[in-house]
Amino acid sequence: MYRFFVQPQVNRFKQSIVGYETLIRESRNGRWMLPKDFSAISLACQLKLLCRCVDALHLKSHYLGFNLNRVQLQDPDVVQQLIEFQAKIHPVRLVVELTEEVCEDANDPACVLKQIKTLHDGGVQVSLDDVGTGENQLDRIECLLPYVSELKVALQNFRHDGNEIMIPEELHEWRRVSNAYHLRFLVEGVETPGDQSALDGLDIALRQGYYYGKPHLLFYRGELNDSSRMEKNA
């Protein structure tokens, strides 16, 4: 069984939730875990679950983030289904978060650009996730920037690599890029009061991370809100 966990995205200065990122999980042995095989989960199944998320969250004009890699993006049927789904859930805004995952078997930059243009023209927003890593290095995504809506920087990537000293410089550079193209700029991986204070000092409003809310399982109508089902490894 699959379900989406959701994590809030906030505007710190307006003290408001602006959207949610959806994170699919699989139930195995009574625990919610990362799926063994993401490719085994059909898009139809995921869109059905996304519909239930919209209903359960009582969303109006919020953003709803949905992760996609470059292999999935290059499938015209996937792109068309996402456009049709956006029309169905309007005025909620579907945001396709294009991951940094390196997909050597199927990575055609010209096709990626074409499909992002198609999503843009069809009313589906695109966010470039974990910019500065993997396939989302600036020299590889610069041609996409006129057709995307958001850039996301992940603080956890710097912590993992032991490069926390680079965070202010990287945030400054990616905010410069986002401003140049009039894009939303969101920082994820915000975990501590120190992270919050640093971002306050940099005047960065849009944020996501454990400090503002961990990913949590949505409960649909008729279900009991049993918090014990929220697993640490979700």
DSSP secondary structure of 137-183: -HHHHGGGGGG--EEEEEHHHHHHHT-GGGHHHHHHHHHHHHHHTT-
pLDDT, position 202: 95
Distance CA 13, CA 124 (A): 26
Distance CA 8, CA 64 (A): 10
Total-model pTM: 0.91
pLDDT, position 229: 43
pLDDT, position 115: 98
Contact 125, 149 (CB under 8 A): yes
Structure tokens at 94: 């579907």
Residues in a beta bridge with 153:
187
Instruction: Kindly give the parts of the chain with pLDDT less than 70.
Output: 105-106, 221-234
pLDDT, position 162: 80
pLDDT, position 227: 41
Helices (DSSP H) in 29-166: which residue ranges?
43-57, 70-73, 76-89, 109-121, 138-141, 155-161
Distance CA 176, CA 138 (A): 12
- Residue 191: CB partners within 8 Å, gap ≥ 6? 155, 156, 209, 210, 211
pLDDT, position 163: 83
Distance CA 227, CA 173 (A): 40
Contact 214, 7 (CB under 8 A): yes
